[in-house]
Chains A and B, each alone.
Chain A
Amino acid sequence: MTLALKLTDLSKTFPLPKTLFGPEKPGVRAVRPLSLDVQQGETLGIVGESGCGKSTLARMLVGLLEPTTGTIEIEGKAPDTGNPAEFGKLIQYVFQDPISSLNPRKTIRQIMESPLKRLYGMGRRDRAQRIADIFDSVNLREEFLDRYPHEFSGGQAQRIGIARALAAAPRIIILDEPVSALDVSVQAQVLNLLARLRAEFNLTYLFISHDLAVVEAVSDRIVVLYFGAVVEVGKAEEIFANPKHPYTHLLASSAPVVGRPLTAPEQKGTELPDPLNPPPGCAFAGRCPRASDICHRQDPPLERMGDDQFAACHHPL
């Protein structure tokens, strides 16, 4: 198996505006140094709550944000970070809000044509042929091409978004909450379509979501992010059934499930750590029932626990 994506020590720190007086502030560390390998043809799920750095990570991967440190390698090549046009042929992005990711003043044809024109310089006839092929793959009718985005339902618009990503013929597609804006009956249609396309075009997916059940249903491996760092990585069928990190356990037991009685898995009003003033040691220690002294002093490294499972915890479950 070859590596589709290799991240080495990738991190992003957003600088804080300097005040006129007073010392320089350290900045907000949205993503802490993070290393990750993704195999070709794999679907890697990325879960975490709002503010955990999921979207920052995704935007760095497609070159929309320049990383503060680290490198991105896609199939052995290292595109110029911070240049989306160079990334475009290798990696594409499907956005969360299907309607707002389509320019309201352009027809679907214009939207579909721009990656073909700009990235590949295709002629008119080739473009028409390629668009027809892609539309066929995503079950869209060609008559949609001359309509405007507002004429479509969320599910159709998301399929257009997927078709646009496919048009660039990328090796990897980042799916940033691709179904969270859709109704459940439509959500399943889109997820099944994605699974079929992956096999058809031999794609690698990075599937970002906050919905654990959806991620588990589509992923091979899952990465759990907390406060900008990886706290656990493991096989999809294992990680929520046998979590090693207490945070993964908390996530899995918080998801509402039919047939499970309502209990607050976490008592009182705990809040996420303050990114402007990060706590020393493990970021989860303040919410963790197993936290001890060392957790508040030392940041735990990501260690192998079990066959294919890694967790960053001093006191794993």
Chain B
Amino acid sequence: MNFLALLFRNRLAAMGAVVLSLILALVLITPLLPLVDPDVIDTGNRFKRPFTEGALLGTDHLGRDLLSRLLWGTRLSLAVGFAAAVIAAVIGSAVGIVAGYFGGRVDNVIMRVIDMLMAFPYILLALAIVAALGPGLINALIAVAAVNIPFFARNIRGIAVGLAGREFIDAARLAGMGHMRIMLTELLPNVLPVIIIAMSTTVGWMILETAGLSFLGLGSQPPQADLGSMLGEARAALITAPHTSIVPGVMIFLIVMSINLLGDGVRDALDPRLKSGALSRPMARTKVDRKGPIPAGSDALMDIRELETQFHVKKRVYKAVGGVTLSVRPGECLGVIGESGSGKSVTALSVMGLVASPPGVVTGGAVRLNGEDLLDMPFEKLRQARGDKVAYIFQDPLSTLHPLYKVGDQLVEAIRSHHNVSNREARKKALSLLKDVRIPNAESRLDNYPHEMSGGMRQRVSIAMSLANDPEVIIADEPTTALDVTVQAQILALLDDLRRSRGLAIIFITHDFGVVAQLCDRVAVMYAGRIVEEGPTQEVLDAPAHPYTKRLIACVPELGQGRRELAAIPGLPPVVDNLPEGCAFAPRCDKARDECRMGDVALRGGAPRAGAPRAVRCLFPEEEIA
């Protein structure tokens, strides 16, 4: 959506924009209006009330026309406020970009100076600057700008530090760009939205500050009018002639309010998170809106039937999961394999209603745990089941563990949120869990923060946490992808042990055939949101029936085959908001015929159980399945 449409969706921002543009239009045409000279003194007509003849808004203590002074004063105040904002933004952003880009000592020195500036209350600092430079509107402008430089510098530095470490900056240096050019052409365009946001939220404030200095007599000097000095001069007659204060007061209120409302709108519209819908807080569970009949269950421990999950983003519908049927029994490990975008993670998250809603919606199917439909379950019961009956292990333990709490406390919290036990008992259990996942020196590790542990140790803690309440099913979403191979081997061995000793059912999501082959009894291969093949791991790997499975396996380089040309699958997986008719793999498949591109291809074969027949979604499979 374009910027303006996004901006005016916010009613208050639109109102601010209207008021502000009216004021701006008025002050721009002020020199053309038939107004009296604002500085002509006519003491005989002092304190005339508003709406009297010849003076629409009345006159002040020297008989000067208030309407004329108001318009000219507003013109001056706005000009000074905007000028101060631009100066502060330019200097502050330059300082912030330099500090953030160079880092180290440069950053340290600059930021300490900025800290010193910030240590003074702003009005004191502004007063000190004006006192040093002498009163006058330009000096007030300099003071207001100087006082606001730290705000910009700190904001921009924070963004620039993050950007300076990004790879595209390194790439620019390798392309032969100098520091100055990198800051101007690589960093600046990326921080510009932040500068604009910071400006739009501070212009109003700076207009107020200038008015404040003028009110104290340090800004515009008589007889020149600006909003602050008008208020200051009217102060003496506040009771006898209140209109002289009210007129400039209302104008200040209108300006600052409209700028702030508009500024907030600009901030929200430019925030990249808003575009992806992040400002709308997701619901506590995924929205369920099942159209068709609810399929019957089976006796499996966890039974996913014809699950359909979609993402509704504006008018587009992304069919992330398009009718997936999976089941696991106690002690069984089911592998779900697929490339990015195949819907494997969304399937996993749909089980316990963890897909962010909006935009996610479960539009069909059923997920049963011990025969109970999880999609139907009251929220409180589902919340109790999360972590207690079904636990998750995610890819990146650093982002799933809370960085500010000790791992021991996080384990204790996980235990006590489901079981009414004392802190001491929970801690004892936490210790034994850490020992179960074979963390050396478990006692001392309880008091570690997540950043004090290595990636492998952190992943062990997440596994310990998932085991905390003796769940029946563990859903592991790429748990070893971020780990080194030697650590991965340890974690896989640990998971295998646990499922054998505790009778856990594991749904293991991965993209790695080697991992599936070593750990899983059965495997389901997903492509474009659907299962294309399922069966016992060994059989599927030895004799893949779906062309996609066969060619995907051929793509994976295996250790011990030496240097060679690798097999590749040309093309890209389809985007799930625009799936081709018929088989989703047909455009990349060299066996595809016309039939493949028409009508739905069904998953053929018996309902797969361990040792039972395999299933494949292909009209011309590589292997005939029983």
Contacts and interface: CB of A to CB of B under 8 A. Distances in A.
Nearest to B568: A188
**Which of A50, A168, A236 is packed against the most chain B CB atoms within 10 Å?**
A50
Contacts of A259: 517
A254 B564 contact: no
A124 interface: no
A59 B351 CA distance: 44
Interface stretch (A28-36, A72-80, A100-108): A100-108
A184 interface: yes
B168 interface: yes
A293 interface: no
Given A64-B173, A93-B171, A266 B460 contact: no
Contact of B566 (A49, A192, A220, A237): A192
B170 A115 contact: no
Contacts of B339: 183-185
A192 B568 contact: yes
B568 A210 contact: no
Given A88-B175, A100-B168, A49 B484 contact: yes
A189 B570 contact: yes
Interface stretch (B127-135, B238-246, B464-472, B549-557): B549-557
A67 interface: no
A216 B173 contact: no
A258 B485 contact: no
A64 B174 contact: yes
A9 interface: no
A269 interface: yes
A147 interface: no
Nearest to A119: B176
A242 to B, nearest CB: 11
Contacts of A101: 166-168, 170-171
**Which of A101, A184, A186, A217 is packed against the most chain B CB atoms within 10 Å?**
A184
A16 interface: no
Contacts of A255: 485, 514, 559
B167 A97 contact: yes
A8 interface: no
Given A164-B175, A188-B555, A263-B493, A254 B485 contact: yes
A216 B557 CA distance: 9
Contacts of B172: 103, 114
B590 to A, nearest CB: 14
B349 interface: no
Nearest to B340: A183
B9 to A, nearest CB: 23
Given A183-B340, A188-B568, A256-B514, A84 B173 contact: yes
Given A102-B168, A185-B339, A271-B454, A256 B515 contact: yes
A168 B517 contact: no
Contact of B190 (A87, A105, A154): A105
A96 B512 CA distance: 19
Interface string A261-274: 11111101101100
A197 interface: no
A269 B340 contact: no
B501 interface: no
B452 to A, nearest CB: 11
A105 B190 CA distance: 7
Nearest to A45: B563
A257 B512 CA distance: 10
Nearest to B515: A256
Contacts of B340: 154, 183
B242 to A, nearest CB: 52
B490 A269 contact: yes
B421 interface: no
A135 interface: no
**Which of B186, B438, B484, B570 is packed against the most chain A CB atoms within 10 Å?**
B484
A265 B486 contact: yes
A92 interface: yes
B86 interface: no
A258 B568 contact: no
A153 interface: yes
A195 B565 contact: yes
Given A114-B177, A185-B568, A257-B514, A104 B190 contact: yes
A153 to B, nearest CB: 6
Given A164-B175, A264-B493, A216 B562 contact: yes
A271 B569 CA distance: 38
Given A168-B174, A257-B514, A262-B519, A103 B190 contact: yes
A86 to B, nearest CB: 9
A181 to B, nearest CB: 9
B439 interface: yes
B129 to A, nearest CB: 34
A268 B565 CA distance: 38
A164 B493 CA distance: 42
Contacts of A302: none
Contacts of A3: none
B559 A240 contact: yes
A219 interface: yes
A260 interface: yes
A188 B339 CA distance: 13
Contacts of B271: none
Contact of A216 (B456, B487, B559): B559
Nearest to A167: B175
A92 B460 contact: no
A155 B572 CA distance: 9
B558 A269 contact: no
B457 A236 contact: no
Interface in B348-383: none
A291 interface: no
A88 B176 CA distance: 6
A258 B541 contact: yes
B557 A64 contact: no
Contact of A237 (B438, B551, B563, B573): B563
Contacts of A50: 455, 484
A264 B490 contact: yes
Contacts of A240: 559-560
B563 A219 contact: yes
Nearest to A241: B560
B121 interface: no
Contacts of A241: 560
Contacts of B556: 184, 213
A62 B175 CA distance: 11
A118 interface: yes
A218 interface: yes
A252 interface: yes
A18 B514 CA distance: 46
**Which of B340, B454, B517, B559 is packed against the most chain A CB atoms within 10 Å?**
B559
A250 B175 contact: no
B195 interface: no
B178 interface: yes
Contact of B559 (A168, A185, A213): A213
A256 B512 CA distance: 9
A95 B519 contact: no
Contacts of A268: 438, 440
B558 A115 contact: no
Given A97-B167, A104-B190, A187-B566, 17 more contacts: A84-B176, A93-B170, A100-B166, A106-B189, A114-B172, A184-B511, A187-B555, A192-B565, A192-B568, A219-B563, A251-B485, A251-B486, A255-B559, A263-B493, A264-B490, A268-B438, A269-B460
8 contacts: A84-B174, A95-B171, A114-B176, A183-B573, A216-B563, A256-B518, A268-B438, A269-B456
Q: Top 7 closest A-B pairs, CB basis?
A: A256-B514, A118-B176, A264-B493, A188-B568, A49-B484, A101-B167, A115-B175
Interface of B: 166-168, 170-178, 181, 185-186, 189-190, 339-340, 438-440, 454-457, 460, 484-490, 492-494, 496, 511-515, 517-519, 541, 551-552, 555-570, 572-573
